[in-house]
Structure 1
Amino acid sequence: MRIAIISNSAWYIYNFRLNKMKMLREKGYAINVLVPWDTKYSNLLLTEGFEVKSWKISRASVNPISEIYSILCLHKLIVLIKPNFIFTYTPKGNIYCNIVGLFSQLKIINNISGMGVISSKMKIFQFLVRVIYKLTLQRKNVVFFQNTNDMNYFIHHKLLKHNKYSLLPGSGVDTLKFVPNTKNKDVYLNFLFMGRLLIEKGLIDLIEAIKFIRFNYTFVQFFVLGMFEPPRSSAIIRSDIDHWVKDGLIRYLGQTDDVHSVLLTMDCLVFPSYYGEGIPRSLLEAASCGLPVITTNHPGCRDAVVDGVTGFLCEPKNPKDLSEKIIQFIN
């Protein structure tokens, strides 16, 4: 039996789906990964023993001609591989594979790990994505959601034609790997932001919150760990990070595949996102390491925290409220 794993990011598959693919391989399935070629992460997947096919697609493109070409390339790869089952991830992976599936009997399992552009302020994007999902989600598809808010959205807008859907709360973490630190930590109180460097992930709100408290709490440090995104209006650029570092607001740690080692040096994860999240992996990893979390009262984020017990919830897009929750944690 052959399984195809489809996503618009090799980094995403390597970091979030590797253990699942290993488990499927142990059960006797042959795994093919269809992703845009990434010199580092595609090669890491090859090193792990998986077949990797280069899918020509841009994560950030909205050019109709380029997107049609990407769909045709995906169709060609699927015809070549002839998978028995297809697992799709990320919005483009889900939608484009569903379009290909309209003309075949492909058995597709869609994973809706957040609303992405459906949660965009741009109503035209919301409308277009809803229409495409409604047209392409077939009765034969199985759909997994990561939080009830997303599942209810699809049900309310009648995007599902069947009852083959269920809640799969988060992508999961290896709790044998992400374990609490038993050693003494730094004399400083260390806060970490960990995630993609997008405005909607709340990093700018965190910067504003830091400005409220920085001079009254000199024993507190803020760290940022995350990858830069392709150029787009919501991307935080390197000059922004450099400016905040120069002003002494944050320390930038770059990007790493060894997230656990970073978490062991921290006291709290701060993730003030208002992005269309599923259940953020960073929150699950922090929780597995025994770290308290400060995040937003936002779908997906709030599902990973018991407010006042395992962390604090703040209002989205509210740096003042965020700063108050940070101070509450400090005290």
Structure 2
Amino acid sequence: MHNLNKPPVFVYVINVDWYFELHWLQRALATLNSGAEVHLVMGMTDPRLIDSFSQYGFTCHQWNIDRKSLNPLFNLQGLIELYRLLKSISPDVIHAITIKPNIYVGLIFYLLKVPYLLSITGTGIIFSGKSLSTKLIKPIIRLLYKASKRKDVNRRIVFENSEDRAYFINTGLCDSHEAVTILGAGVNPDVYEPVAERETDAPVILFAARLLWDKGLGDLVEAAKRLRSQGLNFVIQVAGIIDNSTVNAIDEQTLKAWSREGVIQWLGTEKNMPNLLAQANIVVLPTFYGEGVPRILIEAASCERAIVATDMPGCREIVKHGSNGLLVPARNVEALAQALAQLIQNPEIRKRMGKQGRKIVERDFSEQQVISETLSLYKELLS
């Protein structure tokens, strides 16, 4: 039970610093502003980020987590290091985010007995990947999730979409009473505000995501080649983080080659997303990755941009087919090309879809809503 005379101590355990900044910073700041002491335990790759986190008032701890490695021995080392860090911090609540932190914190509970939350930010490559290594590791991951299930555990499992929640409950990975859905990271509608599309003969199609093959950029390139051979005029802009610490990263050479061919315009990592979205006419994400709710799709809808995405969990939460965008089957280049062609040729449809998207974000995906739902879960665990 938390001692009410001192501020509660929260620890966020997350794989890497840039991911925390992108998706979790606002929630952690709200926790800090509620009077808590907040520690961040993560793989730190950027000294500038660590400085800014420290200036906000977080206490940062370096955790040597190898995100690529499936080697259990190295993982054992990471597990022991995390246990020692958590023991020294002595938290009141632990919030673990993404697969490895989730598994580790679930196992460490046996020794620490601290209330905790696990955030399932999509099922990721482990559940959606088709390679031999992911097929071999999936049953082990499932087993480890099951191992952390206990009757006396005070915890919540937070899902970004209802389909992931149903999957975990139906396959026995967690119990329904502990499973909660909070839709994605949310965005601030005042920052991602509607900007009228620029009128142009060559609409700009924006792909902005982590540069993994599973996010569907290869399929988009194929679709673009088909559309250009049909004489359609458009531009594809690609922005995102090259994440070399994951197994299915697209390397920069490939991006530059596509750029030289004129298939795409490679913009690099772009910090100012509202500005990028203001210049775009359509936003596309042909992902076949286990998504939570892709943030770029929430941002696009908030800025009144029509969307083309795959008919997958997470994408379906934010894109309503025919209303604020078009959903196409995953890995279907022909369907992707047809959906893009429809939006390239119909500015009126894009405009109507954009307006609908904005309404959906204001109703279900505002940052404020996500923050207040998260803080009330923390309150439950503390009491």
C-alpha distance 225-137 of structure 1, shift in aligned 2 (>3 A): farther
* 2:141 corresponds to: 129
Report how far residue 200 of structure 1 moved.
Answer: 0.8
Q: Tell whether the 8 Å contact from 2:205 to 2:237 is kept in structure 1 after alignment.
A: yes
Q: Tell whether the 8 Å contact from 1:120 to 1:126 is kept in structure 2 after alignment.
A: no
Q: Tell whether the 8 Å contact from 2:159 to 2:183 is kept in structure 1 after alignment.
A: yes
Q: How far, CA to CA, are the matches of 2:17 and 2:261 in structure 1?
A: 34
* More contact order relative to length (CA 8 Å, sep ≥ 6): 2
**2:289 aligns with one of 255, 272, 275:** 275
Q: Give the aligned residue type for 1:266.
A: A
Matched, 1:167 2:181: yes
Q: How far, CA to CA, are the matches of 2:197 and 2:307 in structure 1?
A: 20
Report how far residue 42 of structure 1 moved.
Answer: 2.5
C-alpha distance 37-15 of structure 1, shift in aligned 2 (>3 A): same
C-alpha distance 279-153 of structure 1, shift in aligned 2 (>3 A): same
Matched, 1:82 2:90: yes
Q: Tell whether the 8 Å contact from 1:280 to 1:301 is kept in structure 2 after alignment.
A: yes
Q: How far, CA to CA, are the matches of 2:26 and 2:112 in structure 1?
A: 29
C-alpha distance 185-71 of structure 1, shift in aligned 2 (>3 A): farther
* 1:251 corresponds to: 265
Within 5 A, what are the aligned runs for 1:1-331?
1-39=8-46, 40-116=48-124, 117-121=126-130, 122-138=134-150, 139-161=153-175, 163-182=177-196, 184=198, 188-217=202-231, 219-230=233-244, 233-331=247-345
Report how far residue 192 of structure 1 moved.
Answer: 0.6
C-alpha distance 190-35 of structure 1, shift in aligned 2 (>3 A): same
Please, which moves more after superposition, 203-212 or 187-196? 187-196
Report how far residue 41 of structure 1 moved.
Answer: 2.6
Q: Give the aligned residue type for 1:301.
A: C
TM-score normalised by L of structure 2: 0.83
Report how far residue 99 of structure 1 moved.
Answer: 1.3
Q: Tell whether the 8 Å contact from 1:15 to 1:257 is kept in structure 2 after alignment.
A: no
Q: How far, CA to CA, are the matches of 1:215 and 1:140 in structure 2?
A: 58
* 1:176-232 deviations in Å (ceiling 9; x for gaps): 111111474655310011111111110100010001012445531001111112255
TM-score normalised by L of structure 1: 0.95
Number of residue pairs aligned between Structure 1 and Structure 2: 331
Q: How far, CA to CA, are the matches of 1:164 and 1:319 in structure 2?
A: 39
* 1:248-307 deviations in Å (ceiling 9; x for gaps): 000011112221221111111100001000111111111111111100011111221111
C-alpha distance 216-265 of structure 1, shift in aligned 2 (>3 A): same
Q: Is the helix fraction higher in 1 or 2?
A: 2
Q: Give the aligned residue type for 1:42.
A: I
State, as a whole percentage, how many aligned pairs show the same letter.
Answer: 28
Q: How far, CA to CA, are the matches of 2:9 and 2:138 in structure 1?
A: 34
Report how far residue 49 of structure 1 moved.
Answer: 2.6
Please, which moves more after superposition, 132-141 or 228-237? 228-237
Report how far residue 321 of structure 1 moved.
Answer: 0.7
> SS at the partner of 2:205?
strand
Q: Give the aligned residue type for 1:32.
A: H
Q: How far, CA to CA, are the matches of 1:162 and 1:272 in structure 2?
A: 31
Q: How far, CA to CA, are the matches of 1:240 and 1:302 in structure 2?
A: 30
Q: How far, CA to CA, are the matches of 2:33 and 2:234 in structure 1?
A: 46
C-alpha distance 241-142 of structure 1, shift in aligned 2 (>3 A): same
